[in-house]
Amino acid sequence: MSVEIIKNEQLSKISKYLRYKTIKTSHEASIPHLGSCLSCVEILVYLYWSELNLDPLKSSFEDRDRFILSKGHGAPILFQVLAERNFFDSDLLKTAGENGSYFHEHPPKPGYIPGIEAATGSLGHGFPIALGMALGAKINNKSYRTYALLSDGECNEGTIWESAMLAASNSLFNLTVLIDFNKWQATGRSKEIMALEPLLDKWKSFGWHSQEIDGHNFNEIRNSLINAKKNEQQPSVIIANTVKGKGISFMEDNNNWHYRIPNKNEFSEALKELEII
Amino acid sequence: MRTLFQKKITALAKKRDDIVLLSGDIGNKMFDDFKQIAPERFINCGIAEASMMSVAGGLALSGLRPVVYTITPFVTARCFEQAKISVGYHEANVVIIGTGSGLSYAELGATHHSLDDISIMGSIPNMRVLAPCDPNQLGFYLDEALNLNGPTYIRIGKKGEPIITSEISEIRIGKSNIIKEGNDILILGIGPIINEALLAVEKLKSVSQKSIAIAEMSSIKPMDEIFLKEMVKRNFKTWITLEEHGFVGGMGIRINNWLFKNDASKTIKTINLNTPDQFIHTLGKQNFLRKELNIDESFIYNKLLSL
Ligand SMILES: Cc1ncc(C[n+]2csc(CCOP(=O)(O)OP(=O)(O)O)c2C)c(N)n1
């Protein structure tokens, strides 16, 4: 399957629409983590529309690329992405947050929602699972690539650095990690709670092919992914500088939107900013 | 319960300068008061629960009284071995608080459900295991745990739990109490889910003559054996255990085992109400899942009617 070339303007349009859908669902179904979702929209849109080798109609074909949302609390945006890419009927998302639905705050294990490769939500699991999949590809002589999206706060976890060392020692160049570096975690600045910086140098010193980009810029996302694939010795990390709550002025870089649910006024303000009405 | 915990630990830290609060990047703003009175004794350990647990062990070995606080699976299952060795084996004076226990975080999915924490923490020698049924009881337990030697695990809910222990004259670790008197059937519960039993029994009044007693077994380890012996003497036909937790390693299996050894007559029938031995992915609110899993008021009501 070949991946279509999609223009940046088209990707921006999709991003805006998915922001709208995610905020709407949060407002209607009281699902939190909006700030966390909005910071990684461009990354997910680029991956799902221009990078990953996937087939929505055969979501578990063997040679597909694997994508793991290691920051599992970003599930609301991933669900919208999968629906928009036709992994399932987008009407299903109308049940989000309802009793009896599979669509809540985190991705369930595979088999319940097409396109989900692993249950995440407990931080520090998705990345080592992705590493296992990349190692599996190597052992099974498969050419698929594995991608994991981590959050900066998630890099507090020991499993992240344990896995970083293991991936490097196994030269897993088929593994690409993207970090949604929005500078916040749940209760404060990620560089203050733990000495996270210099993040790029940390990954470099752990033996990774390391790049730093603007995580809202499609050209930079594209180029970094091309570079990652060129390197055939090391696993690759792309540190994407992002803004938590990106796209809605009053949510941007305001960590209250980690948990906050938009009320009616805030929802209609957001619609205005997205030029939906 | 979270609010009570926050208020109580702040009040205690004001009086005692050996209390250190460790949290795992949760509870934004919740501990602002604590940070005000003792900024150097509040440590946000980040999203790194395993190291947080062993750090607490080290603080305790330095003569301090650390209290570790985060979401239940992350302060139990996630760092089990650190709790077992750095805390349990060292008999370290650490109080471990799991917040959002049982199905309190129902809609967050299997990663955030904790239906195994009593089993996990109860398996650690020296570890006390407490599941207070309301904020009032939590306050007494916290106070006492910080004055005892050795580690204590306290499983708490989220918010808005009704007060059901206000009539009890003596709340302390290792002592169980009757919450509602009765003669035919005994319900033994832990944690806030006891309220479901209270509601069911209240509803039953208008349609049935059955006399039902409800007791709290919130102190799971140590368990109040004197109380249980008294209950055996009172000749209830049936004992029902109720917990928002799985059967294996929970309170129900402990009661069954205890009766097996201690009820010479072998005439007491037991019914265990608990969550099933499976992961839950059909999600919803806490009360929805309680209903789905047959541990809610209406299930208890029908069960009592059928006895
Ligand atoms: C192991 C674990 N500990 C704690 C949590 C609770 N939690 C959910 S999101 C979050 C932090 C979010 O910050 P970050 O990881 O930087 O992601 P962001 O929302 O900023 O994208 C925390 C602590 C969790 N989900 N898993």
Angle between helices B2-15 and B135-145 (to 10 degrees): 30
Q: How far is CA B248 from CA B115, B222, B243, B292, in A?
A: 10, 18, 12, 20
How much of chain B exceeds pLDDT 70, in percent?
A: 100
| H or E element that contains A268 | helix A264-273
The shortest C-alpha distance from B39 to chain A (Å) reads 14
Q: A100 and B284: CB-CB below 8 Å?
A: yes
Span B112-144, pLDDT tens digits: 999 999 999 999 999 999 999 999 999 999 999
pLDDT number for residue A5: 73
Question: E strands, A64-156, where?
Answer: 66-69, 146-151
User: What is the Cα Rg of chain A in Å?
Assistant: 18
d(CA A99, CA A119): 19
Closest listed residue to residue B53, CA positions, set B119, B131, B127: B127
Q: How far is CA A121 from CA A76, A193, A244, in A?
A: 12, 20, 18
Q: Where are the domains of chain B?
A: 2-155, 177-306
d(CA A200, CA A179): 10
Tell whether ligand 1 has an atom less than 6 A from the beta carbon of residue A101.
Answer: no
Q: How many CB atoms lie within 10 A of CB B42?
A: 19
Tell whether ligand 1 has an atom less than 6 A from the beta carbon of residue A186.
Answer: yes
CATH code, B2-155: 3.40.50.970
Q: A153 and B112: CB-CB below 8 Å?
A: no
What is the rounded average pLDDT for all residues in chain A?
A: 96
The size of the A-B interface in CB pairs under 8 A is 86
Q: Is B176 left (phi over 0), alpha (psi -120 to 50) or beta?
A: beta
C-beta contacts of A260-269 below 8 A and 24+ residues apart:
A260/A32, A260/A34, A261/A26, A261/A27, A261/A30, A261/A31, A261/A32, A261/A34, A262/A23, A262/A26, A262/A27, A262/A34, A263/A27, A264/A27, A266/A27, A267/A23, A267/A24, A267/A27
Structure tokens at B97: 């608080």
The shortest C-alpha distance from B289 to chain A (Å) reads 8
Q: How far is CA B44 from CA A155, B40, B190, in A?
A: 15, 11, 30
pLDDT grade for A3, boundaries at 50, 70 and 90:
low
Q: How far is CA A247 from CA A94, A109, B233, in A?
A: 23, 30, 68
Quote ipTM for the complex. 0.95
Which of A121, A156, A193 has its CB closest to that of B112? A121
Q: B74 and A97: CB-CB below 8 Å?
A: no
- The protein residue whose alpha carbon is closest to atom 6 in ligand 1 is B26
pLDDT number for residue A6: 85
Q: Please count the helices (runs of H) and the strands (runs of E) in chain A.
A: 10, 7
- The yes-or-no verdict on residue A92 having pLDDT over 50 is yes
Q: Mean per-residue pLDDT for B233-246?
A: 97
A182 CA to centre of ligand 1 in angstroms: 12
Name the residue of A33, A34, A36 to mutate for ligand 1: max ligand atoms within 8 A of Cβ: A36
The shortest C-alpha distance from B60 to chain A (Å) reads 22
Contact A182, A244 (CB under 8 A): yes
d(CA A157, CA B217): 36
Query: Which residues in chain A touch residue B288, judged by CB atoms under 8 angstroms apart?
Result: 99-100
- The yes-or-no verdict on residue B89 having pLDDT over 70 is yes
Compute the C-alpha angle A255/A259/A263, nearest 5°.
100
Q: Is the pTM of this model over 0.90?
A: yes
> Which residues lie across from B185 on neighbouring strands?
B212, B238
Q: Is B36 exposed, middle or buried (0-12, 13-18, 19+ CB in 10 A)?
A: exposed
- The yes-or-no verdict on residue B205 having pLDDT over 90 is yes
The shortest C-alpha distance from B259 to chain A (Å) reads 38
pLDDT grade for A84, boundaries at 50, 70 and 90:
very high
CATH level 3 topology of B177-306: Rossmann fold (3.40.50)
Query: Which residues in chain B touch residue A105, judged by CB atoms under 8 angstroms apart?
Result: 107-109
| Residue whose tokens read 């733990």 | A194
d(CA A154, CA A160): 8
Contact B187, B220 (CB under 8 A): no
d(CA A17, CA B125): 55
Given CA atoms A204, A208, A213, A219 in this order, what sign does their dihedral have?
positive
Q: Do domains B2-155 and B177-306 have the same CATH topology?
A: yes
d(CA A33, CA B219): 36
Which of A105, A121, A158 has its CB closest to that of B51? A158
- In eight-state DSSP terms, residue A101 is B
A21 CA to centre of ligand 1 in angstroms: 22
Span A129-164, pLDDT tens digits: 999 999 999 999 999 999 999 999 999 999 999 999
pLDDT number for residue B28: 82
Structure tokens at A185: 């975690």
Query: Which residues in chain B touch residue A188, judged by CB atoms under 8 angstroms apart?
Result: 25, 44
Contact A179, A215 (CB under 8 A): no
- The yes-or-no verdict on residue A277 having pLDDT over 80 is no
Structure tokens at B150: 């050795």
Local structure of A248: helix, strand or coil: coil
Structure tokens at B43: 């440590």
| Domains of chain A and any CATH numbers | 8-273 (3.40.50.970)
Chain A: residue whose CA lies nearest to B51: A158
Angle between helices B194-204 and B297-306 (to 10 degrees): 50
Contact B180, B214 (CB under 8 A): yes
